[in-house]
Amino acid sequence: MNATMYPPAVEDLCRRTRDFIRSVVIPAEPRPGESLDPAVRRALGEAAKAAGVYAPHMPVELGGQGLAVAHWSPVFQAAGYSPIGPAALNCMAPDEGNMHLLHLIGTPDQQRAFLVPLASGAVGSCFAMTEPHPGAGSDPAALATTARFEHGDWVISGHKRFTSGAANAAFAIVMARTPAPAGTQAAPAGATMFLVPMDTPGVRLGAAIHTVDRYLPGGHPHVHFDDVRVPASAVLGEVGRGFTYAQVRLGPARLTHCMRWLGLARRALDIALDRTGAREIFGEPIARLGIAQEMIAQSVIDIETSDAIIAKAAVLLDVDAKAGSALSSVAKVHVSEAVYRVIDRAVQLCGGDGVSDGLPLAQYVNEVRPFRIYDGSTETHKWAIARRAAAQRRRDVQSGEPFQGDAHIDEEGR
């Protein structure tokens, strides 16, 4: 990975992260298909702090490295070169996205109670948004969990699923539908985010959802909220603005998923390059065969185009959050599909060993396959991308740009 487009301090952190992942984290990786032991994760986190590479996305005063969003990508990719690297550096989903949101909109009291221990690695968190059908999933407007204002408290009722990290979480950020509350400061009806400790009465961890990915601590279980009573101070941000805050969280969070998994795609290509350079077939190294060269070239192209679109979206998020979030949707589609192709090609290039547990590639396939669904499926994002493109073109034409449709076709159809 070439980080020369970044400032020297970022290049230095990238180099140190790369060295830490290779020398400390990779030797501690569990065997393919096994989960990361919590004690090992804690030990790796302490080692990352000592090495000065911990929490690259967090401010220095919170124990992080203070990187701007536009500079996250090379460091997150370096962390993602190991599937457990982001967990070791405490920049793994969902904690990383929750930290970012708490840092942006949390009150000082909320930051002391929730952000400080989360950033230090003392606790984990989850983001409770997705629900069983017909509740919120690809369509967040279908949100079914509700919160009502009652005697000065909020009472939350609902059922969440795919609540990533919930089994190890100390608290959840819960999305719930709220009315315009009577007797409180004026607020619109809509959705509201709540900070809910997982030991609050009425919070119940439900059945685990067994998925093909294994490296996310805390799994993806169901979580039930049975008349969970929380104080007014549990509201994160403002009442009724939950969907707006969700976009604030999701734009960078989509990109950081892309960054981490692109790092793993680089690892998969390196494994394939080492194997095809060392093994011979038909009298010469596999890497010299035209069909193998085509696969390698396509993987390099997928990695470089992914890197470029991530970098552009990250810069745009800093200057125009709405446009940056829209481009992060494009990046999510492209990178999730490209990363899967790169790792799948690596498996193919490594033959029988690629699908065995002698190499980690088969598990990498399992880890990245859900990314084409998590954080919005490829198809949902394409639908939204097309709608935005059509709407933008209508605005352009209305503002005076020449119309390029059938008005330019002459009577003979030319």
The whole-number pLDDT of residue 411 equals 52
Which pLDDT tens digit goes with each residue over 362-385?
999 999 999 999 988 999 999 999
195 pLDDT above the threshold of 50: yes
Which pLDDT tens digit goes with each residue over 129-151?
999 999 998 888 899 999 999 99
Q: What are phi and psi of 241, to 5 degrees?
A: -110, 20
Upstream peptide bond of 8 is cis (omega within 30 degrees of 0) = no
Q: What type of residue sits at position 18?
A: R
Instruction: Work out the number of other CB atoms within 10 angstroms of the CB of residue 296.
Output: 20
| Full 3-state SS string of the chain | CCCCCCCHHHHHHHHHHHHHHHHHHHHHCCCCCCCCCHHHHHHHHHHHHHHCCCCCCCCHHHCCCCCCHHHHHHHHHHHHCCCCHHHHCCCCCCHHHHHHHHHHHCCHHHHHHHHHHHHHCCCEEEEECCCCCCCCCCCHHHCCCEEEEECCEEEEEEEECCCCCHHHEEEEEEEEEECCCCCCCCCCCEEEEEEEECCCCCEEECCCCCCCCCCCCCCCCCEEEEEEEEEHHHEECCCCEHHHHHHHHHHHHHHHHHHHHHHHHHHHHHHHHHHHHHCEECCEEHHHCHHHHHHHHHHHHHHHHHHHHHHHHHHHHHHCHHHHHHHHHHHHHHHHHHHHHHHHHHHHHCHHHHCCCCCCHHHHHHHHHHHHCCCCCHHHHHHHHHHHHHHHHHHHHHCCCCCCCHHHCCCCCC
Which pLDDT tens digit goes with each residue over 270-310?
999 999 999 988 889 999 999 999 999 999 999 999 999 99
Q: Please state the rounded mean pLDDT for residues 35-42.
A: 92
187 pLDDT above the threshold of 90: no
Please name the residue that has the structure tokens 């993602």.
Answer: 80
The whole-number pLDDT of residue 3 equals 46
Instruction: Work out the number of other CB atoms within 10 angstroms of the CB of residue 30.
Output: 16
At 321, the pLDDT band (50, 70, 90 cuts) reads confident
Share of the chain above pLDDT 90, in %: 82
Q: Please state the rounded mean pLDDT for residues 226-253.
A: 93
Share of the chain above pLDDT 70, in %: 95
Which pLDDT tens digit goes with each residue over 75-109?
999 999 999 999 999 999 999 999 999 999 999 99
Instruction: Work out the number of other CB atoms within 10 angstroms of the CB of residue 288.
Output: 14
Cα 158 from Cα 183, distance rounded (Å): 24
Q: Please state the rounded mean pLDDT for residues 224-230.
A: 98
Buried b (16+ CB within 10 A) or exposed e, 194-218: bbbbbeeeebeeeeeeebebbbbbb
The whole-number pLDDT of residue 116 equals 98
pTM attached to this predicted model: 0.92
Cα 369 from Cα 121, distance rounded (Å): 27
Q: Please state the rounded mean pLDDT for residues 155-166.
A: 97
Question: Which range, of 54-68, 76-90, 241-255, averages the lowest pLDDT?
Answer: 241-255
185 pLDDT above the threshold of 80: no
Contact 327, 312 (CB under 8 A): yes
Contact 65, 120 (CB under 8 A): no
Question: Which range, of 50-59, 63-72, 157-166, 248-257, averages the lowest pLDDT?
Answer: 248-257
Q: What are phi and psi of 236, to 5 degrees?
A: -95, 115
Instruction: Work out the number of other CB atoms within 10 angstroms of the CB of residue 292.
Output: 18
Domains plus CATH for the chain? 8-120 (1.10.540.10), 124-238 (2.40.110.10), 244-398 (1.20.140.10)
188 pLDDT above the threshold of 70: no
At 117, the pLDDT band (50, 70, 90 cuts) reads very high
The whole-number pLDDT of residue 409 equals 52
The whole-number pLDDT of residue 90 equals 97
Rg (CA), the chain: 23
Strand 124-128 to strand 169-178: parallel, antiparallel, or no bridges (unpaired)?
parallel
Assigned token pair, 180: 């315009």
413 pLDDT above the threshold of 60: no
What length does the chain have?
414
At 181, the pLDDT band (50, 70, 90 cuts) reads low
Q: Collect all residues with Cβ–Cβ distance below 8 Å to 104 and sequence separation of at least 6.
A: 248
At 1, the pLDDT band (50, 70, 90 cuts) reads very low
Cα 345 from Cα 378, distance rounded (Å): 20
The whole-number pLDDT of residue 214 equals 84
